[in-house]
Structures are given as structure tokens and as C-alpha cells.
Chain A
Amino acid sequence: LTTPSNTQAERTEVLYGVDNTTNEILNFLSSAKTQMDICADYTWPSVAIGVDVFKKALFNIKDRGIKARFVTDITKNNLEYCKEAMKIGELRHLVGIKGNFALSEKEYMASATLQEATPLQQVIYSNVKEFLEQQQYVFDTFWNKSIPAEHKIKELEEGLAPDKIEVIQNSSRSQALYFNIVKSAKEEILLIFPTPNAFIRQENMGVIRAIIETAEKTNVKVRILMPAHDLTENSVQTLRRRDQYRHGNIDIRYIEVTSGTKATILLADRKVSLVMELKDDSKTTFNQAIGLSTFSNSVPGVLSYVSIFESLWKQTELYEKVKESNKRLEEANEQLKVHDKMQKEFINIAAHELRTPIQPIISTVGIIRSRKASMKEHQLDDSLDMITRSAERLKQLSSDILDVTKIESQLFELNKEKFNLNDLLSKTVEDYKNQIAKTNMNIKLALRFTENTIVVEADRNRITQVISNLLRNAIKFTKKGDGTISIEVQKIEGEGEESMYTQRFVMVSIKDTGSGIDPDILPRLFEKFASKSFQGTGLGLFISRTIVEAHGGKIWLENNDDNLQTAGTTFSFTLPAISNQKNISQQQATEVLDK
């Protein structure tokens, strides 16, 4: 192969030893006139720039105005050399390029191996024209397949992959890519499953596990949109529970299954998308079910998918809100129905209670009219008593109904004044004693004070109303009209609304020996219409509670014993007390009491 050294003559030669090779290379570089095309592997930049003589010779080429083109494999490690090389000529990147050769317009040099930043041990030289043409073709092919160095450098420096849209025919490649994208996600994974089956297949394939691992390890936020279905409900619940205990990085929302959705869409870091088209949803494995897939890292395309995802995500939020407000409407409607039912019930009870006392009035008046002169005096008295009783009952009822109406329309007001509560109790109890005396009942009323004067600031009429209500109840439930009702008044210490100091309260207890109260009705007793009694509207205790609470007190009751038949009930209520000295002198109080 060796021919005599002649510039005109064709020569192809293998040279050994650093000195020989270096000389040959420098000769080759300095004799170039118009072009210098070099294609070499990732070590080349370190040899070309890192070995001083070669670097000088290359820069000299530039100075001579020779057009230089380099193709190499740009990596993180040779990045700085590449940047230097770009000052000499045009540099392009071809991933994994292996051949090492250089072409001037008339000479060719090659080396089988290159070593990092080291002169060469062995080179091949040739100036055979046909061979040069052939190698030029190889170089041009590589050149055309390569990409500008700037792109690769940018990618390396910013971690960006070159823009690419690729259609993947092979579903096992899609599967591999799917895992890759999930595992290498750094910030965010967005995923849309088209069908429940798609979720199940991909869960079986292990993708969900990979997503959880990524979410937990690198704090990637995962959002999943999928149709709700019984088949996937368990997995979703498990996923949600598991995630709750960890980072709260995985959020799943449900979308409607539309016949149009036929692809699993995977988006990572808003930089890559993988759209896996569903070929046959009835298949059990991913590889059988998936047809074509499209991979893209082209920003406009990926961001379009992201925006579609975000719209759907927002839609589920709106859907949830609509559902929530529907629920509230339903609840409000339920409440209205309950209210409506209570109103109807009230009308029924009120109608009964209003009509009942009218009957004795009408009938008695009728009797008086028809009998007239024939009526004896005691008969007339009985008749008038009956009319009076019924009229009293109507009066009470109308005032109760009016009170409830005031309470419900928030027009209920108190006219407070300071007075001795003992005085008021004595008078009220006396009235009831007189009433009982007129009947054939044998009920004793026993009033007991712990102090002579207990001053309260309250609405005198309203407090009378409460006491009357409780006394009437006690009398009504005292069986067979035989028993004792004990009324007690005492001062107690209680927690005030401001817990800094203990507030003093007055407690009034009314204890009867009646039939006790059905435990079923206890919790509702102070509500409207709670009465199980067959007389009364069930308004008295509701009104009493409103009055007591408006004064800042409480009202409650206890059955005296578990045996309802004999034990009876104690109703108690409290009112805030006022210290005697400050508000009413002891003397004045005594005077009040004496009256």
C-alpha cells in the first residue's frame, strides 16, 4: 500500500508513535487550503483543544480563512472543549458517533482510537481521491443527521431535551416510555384515564405504584382525572388514604366518561406528553389494549394538553361546587318541609285548642237562653263559671299564640325593673292557692325562701308568666289532684358568661309529686309543640324558656326518680342576681316584703 512520498502521488499509510503521528497531523492541518471536516467521538474535543499543538494548528486554520466543520458527541464532560472548538468552525452534535476521521480538500486522516486530551499513538493517512470522495459522503451524511451544537449545549445546560414529536407504533415501547416519564418527573405529573379499565390495566402494569413512589420520593405533585366506577373505587380509596398519611401529593378527581375519550394522556413537568391511544378497551393487558402512542416534548403541543387538563380539572371543581350547593338547597328544602309540617301541626293543635273552649260557651249560653226563668240560681252560677273558665282558657291561648308570634318575628322585648322576687312568688303562689281552694283538688303549695330578700332585675310580668306556666304544669300533672308542690328560691354561685368571676344566680325550683315526664320527650320539652298532654298547645314551656334565656338565665327539669309514676318532676330556672346593697337598701327591701 505504501507509495513514495509525493504530493502528486497517491499515498495511503499507517503511522505509529506519538512523534510521527503528531507531525503527520500538523502537516495535514497546515496544508489544508479550503476545508477541514472532522468527525470524531466524544473524546475528540479534549484532544483537539486539550493538546496544545493541535489547538494552535486548528486556530491557525481559522486564521487562514478555511471553512471548518466538526461533528462530535457533545456531552457534559466535553462541553467546555466544544465551546472552544466552536470558535474555530461550525460544530454539530451527533449522539453516540464513533468514527474518528478528518478531511481536507485533498487529504484524509483517521484514527481507530482516541484518548482523552492525549496525542495519538496511531493514525491512518490517505490522499486517494476515490477514497476521499467516499469518506466525504460519509461525513456529509453524519453532518446532515447531526444537530447544531448550540441546541445540544442549551439542552445540557438547561436539562432540556431537543424538541421532538414521535409516533410510537410498538405498545411495549410506549410502556417503557410511560415508566420512564413517570420516574423522571421532577415537579408534576398530570394523568387522564379514559375508562375504568384503562386505570385497572395500568394499575396492574405497576404504573400507579411507580407514580406513588415518585410522588413520595421526590415530592412530585400528581393529579389524576378518571371516570368514577365501582371497579376502581377501592383502589382510589386506598390510594387516597395512603397518600393522606404521606405527603398529600396525589389528588384524584372524577370526570364523566364520554364516548369520545379514547386515550390515556400523561403529562410530566409541563414538558413532555405521552398520549396512548386506546385500541381495544376490552383487553386485559396494556400492550393489547394500546394502539398508537404519541410522544412529544414540543412545548406548544404539551402546553395545549396541560391547558385541556386544567380545564377539565376546573370543571370537576365547578361540578363539586354545583353538587355542594344542590345539597345545601336540598337541606334547606328539607328544613322548609319540616317547618311546613310543624306549621300545619301547629294549625291543627291551635285549631283544636281554640275550638274546644268555644263549645262550652256556645252551649251554656244556649242553655241559659232556652231555660231562662226556669234556671235555679246555683245552676246559673255553674253556667257562668263554665263560661268564665272557657273564656280564661281562650285568653291564655290567644296570649300564648301572640307570644310565639312575637318570638318568631323577633319582636319579643323585656321591660326590666328591680324587684324582690320573693314578693312576686308569694303573690303568685297565693293566687294559685285561692284557685285550687275553689276546686275539689287537694293540692298543697309550699313556698320556701332561704333569704328574705332576693332582688332581681327582670320583667315582672314575664317572670310571673314563667312561674304561672310551671305551676299550672305541676298542678295539671299532679294525679287525681292530690299532692304537694314545693317551690324553693335560693341564691347559687354559677359560672357567668365572663368566667373571670363567679356570677351569682337566683334559682327557683318547682317540685311536684306528679306523673313525671316521658324520657322520650325530655330533650324536646322546651321546643314548640312538644307537649304530650292532651290539653295545651305545647307553647308554655317554649315561651318560658325564651323568657328565662332572654334574662340570661337557664331553665331545665329533672325527673325526681326513675319511677315515673310516683316520683314527679322538678322544674328549675335561674335569673342573674343583683347584690342587695348596691341596688336596693335592706330597709327598702323589707318594706317591699312587708307589703
Chain B
Amino acid sequence: MIAKENNSGKKRVLVVDDEPDISLILKMVLEDSGLEVHSFEDPISALNSFEVGLYDLLILDIKMPEMDGFELYHEIRKKDNKVKICFLTASEMYYKKLRNEEFCSLNKDMFIQKPIENEELIKEINKILSS
């Protein structure tokens, strides 16, 4: 069980990416920047274990088997319409087209394109966390 109260004072982030190497390395990078990071390779498990108030930010991959990042986004929004969510994707199409069409209401900062340098990623994440 993850403690609901964040005693360390660190911001808590959830990473969902079906690529094991990516979820692992993102966890390391974000932990090195002083965040508490949980990661899932399977979007269904991520959804099942999600609880309101647990996280300050969700970082979702888009192209995933079983449930893609957009579906996961909608499912989580049903549970929690306040938590910050951003997408981290390598897809060209999702990044450019769907951002405009389906997610036009979202802030464009909510999309971060892979691959991204560690410093750049940390900067983007902190910007979202402090917004």
C-alpha cells in the first residue's frame, strides 16, 4: 500500500508506459530530481490501483496495448477530475493531430514529446507541477 499522506513533502508522480526500459529509466530520472515516483507498465493495473489524492501528476504514454493513454485519461477523469495529467509520447500523429482534435481543450503543455533530454523533462514536469 502506498501511504496516502506524503510525509516526505515530496511531490508524488505516477508514470505509465508499456516499455519497461522507459518506465524504469523515467522513474530513475524523476527520482533523481527529487520526486517520489511510482510506475506501471500496464495501464489496467495503473487504473485499478489509482486513488484520488494519491498523486500530484500522472505521466501517461499514449500508444499502449489493452488501453491507450487517452482511454486511461478518460477513465481516471471519471474518478478524479482534479489531478494533473500529461502525456509523454513518441507518436507523431498523436502528438500533432489528436492534440488539436480530441484534446483541443487541454493545455498544449500537457503533451511532451519523446525522446527528451533529462533536464528538459524535469523542467517540463516542474512547470506542470507548479502551474
Contact, CB under 8 Å: B29 / A355: no
CB-defined contacts of B24 to chain A, threshold 8 Å: 386
A481 to chain B, nearest CB (A): 12
Q: With the chains together, A370 CA to B28 CA distance in Å?
A: 12
B27 to chain A, nearest CB (A): 10
Kindly state whether residue A217 has any CB partner on chain B within 8 Å: no
Size of the chain A interface, CB-CB below 8 angstroms: 23
Contact, CB under 8 Å: A360 / B63: no
CB-defined contacts of A364 to chain B, threshold 8 Å: 25
Closest partner residue, chain A, to B29 (CB atom): A363
Contact, CB under 8 Å: B91 / A360: no
Q: With A351-B92, A355-B90, A363-B118 given, is the CB distance from A386 to B25 under 8 Å? A: yes
Which of B28, B64, B91, B117 is within 8 Å of A351, CB to CB? Answer: B91
Contact, CB under 8 Å: B118 / A362: yes
Q: Mark A329-373, 1 if CB is under 8 A from B, else 0.
A: 000000000000000000110011101101111111011001100
Contact, CB under 8 Å: B114 / A360: no
Q: With A351-B90, A352-B91, A534-B65 given, is the CB distance from A360 to B22 under 8 Å? A: yes
A273 to chain B, nearest CB (A): 66
A-B contacts besides A348-B92, A359-B22, A386-B25, 7 pairs, CB < 8 Å: A351-B91, A352-B89, A356-B90, A362-B118, A366-B118, A371-B32, A386-B21
Determine the interface band of chain B, counting residues with CB < 8 A from chain A: 20 to 34
Closest partner residue, chain A, to B30 (CB atom): A363
CB-defined contacts of B119 to chain A, threshold 8 Å: 366
A94 to chain B, nearest CB (A): 92
Q: With the chains together, A359 CA to B65 CA distance in Å?
A: 19
CB-defined contacts of A361 to chain B, threshold 8 Å: 115
Kindly state whether residue B116 has any CB partner on chain A within 8 Å: yes
CB-defined contacts of A367 to chain B, threshold 8 Å: 25, 28-29, 32, 118
Q: Mark A228-253, 1 if CB is under 8 A from B, else 0.
A: 00000000000000000000000000
Contact, CB under 8 Å: A389 / B21: yes
Q: Mark B2-31, 1 if CB is under 8 A from A, else 0.
A: 000000000000000011011011101100
Q: With the chains together, A520 CA to B89 CA distance in Å?
A: 28
Contact, CB under 8 Å: B115 / A362: yes
Kindly state whether residue A171 has any CB partner on chain B within 8 Å: no
Closest partner residue, chain A, to B64 (CB atom): A534
Q: Mark B94-128, 1 if CB is under 8 A from A, else 0.
A: 00000000000000000001111111010000000
Contact, CB under 8 Å: A534 / B90: no
Contact, CB under 8 Å: A359 / B92: no
Closest partner residue, chain A, to B89 (CB atom): A352
CB-defined contacts of B21 to chain A, threshold 8 Å: 360, 386, 389-390
B22, B89, B115 pick with most chain A CB within 10 angstroms: B115
Q: With A386-B21, A389-B21 given, is the CB distance from A359 to B116 under 8 Å? A: yes
Kindly state whether residue B1 has any CB partner on chain A within 8 Å: no
Q: With A364-B25, A534-B63 given, is the CB distance from A348 to B91 under 8 Å? A: yes
CB-defined contacts of B121 to chain A, threshold 8 Å: 363
Give 7 pairs: A residue, B residue, CB < 8 Å, sorted on A: A351-B91, A352-B63, A356-B19, A356-B115, A367-B28, A367-B118, A386-B25
CB-defined contacts of B115 to chain A, threshold 8 Å: 355-356, 358-359, 361-362
Which of B25, B89, B93 is within 8 Å of A360, CB to CB? Answer: B25
B99 to chain A, nearest CB (A): 14
CB-defined contacts of B65 to chain A, threshold 8 Å: 533-534
Chain A residues close to B by CB (< 8 Å): 347-348, 351-353, 355-356, 358-364, 366-367, 370-371, 386, 389-390, 533-534
Q: With the chains together, A262 CA to B90 CA distance in Å?
A: 69
Closest partner residue, chain B, to A362 (CB atom): B115
CB-defined contacts of B18 to chain A, threshold 8 Å: 534
Contact, CB under 8 Å: A352 / B92: yes
Contact, CB under 8 Å: B28 / A356: no
* Residues of B49-70 contacting chain A, CB below 8 A: 63-65
B64 to chain A, nearest CB (A): 6
CB-defined contacts of A371 to chain B, threshold 8 Å: 32
Which of B25, B92, B93 is within 8 Å of A363, CB to CB? Answer: B25
CB-defined contacts of B32 to chain A, threshold 8 Å: 367, 370-371
Of all A-B residue pairs in the complex, the 10 with the closest CB atoms, nearest first, are: A355-B90, A366-B118, A358-B115, A351-B92, A359-B115, A363-B25, A360-B21, A348-B93, A534-B65, A356-B90
Q: Mark B71-95, 1 if CB is under 8 A from A, else 0.
A: 0000000000000000001111100
Q: With the chains together, A105 CA to B54 CA distance in Å?
A: 141
Closest partner residue, chain A, to B68 (CB atom): A534
Contact, CB under 8 Å: A355 / B63: no
CB-defined contacts of A348 to chain B, threshold 8 Å: 91-93
CB-defined contacts of B91 to chain A, threshold 8 Å: 348, 351-352
Q: With the chains together, A370 CA to B118 CA distance in Å?
A: 10
CB-defined contacts of B113 to chain A, threshold 8 Å: 355
A361, A533, A534 pick with most chain B CB within 10 angstroms: A534
Q: With the chains together, A336 CA to B21 CA distance in Å?
A: 39
Q: With the chains together, A353 CA to B63 CA distance in Å?
A: 11
A351 to chain B, nearest CB (A): 4
CB-defined contacts of A360 to chain B, threshold 8 Å: 19, 21-22, 25
Contact, CB under 8 Å: A356 / B114: yes
CB-defined contacts of B90 to chain A, threshold 8 Å: 351-353, 355-356, 359
CB-defined contacts of B22 to chain A, threshold 8 Å: 356, 359-360
CB-defined contacts of B28 to chain A, threshold 8 Å: 363, 367
Q: With the chains together, A360 CA to B19 CA distance in Å?
A: 10
Contact, CB under 8 Å: B26 / A363: yes
Q: With the chains together, A362 CA to B115 CA distance in Å?
A: 8
Q: With the chains together, A361 CA to B25 CA distance in Å?
A: 9
Q: Mark B32-60, 1 if CB is under 8 A from A, else 0.
A: 10000000000000000000000000000
A31 to chain B, nearest CB (A): 118
Q: With the chains together, A533 CA to B64 CA distance in Å?
A: 9
Closest partner residue, chain B, to A360 (CB atom): B21
Closest partner residue, chain B, to A355 (CB atom): B90
Q: With the chains together, A362 CA to B119 CA distance in Å?
A: 11
CB-defined contacts of A366 to chain B, threshold 8 Å: 29, 117-119
Q: With the chains together, A358 CA to B90 CA distance in Å?
A: 10
B112 to chain A, nearest CB (A): 11
CB-defined contacts of A351 to chain B, threshold 8 Å: 90-92
A348, A371, A386 pick with most chain B CB within 10 angstroms: A348
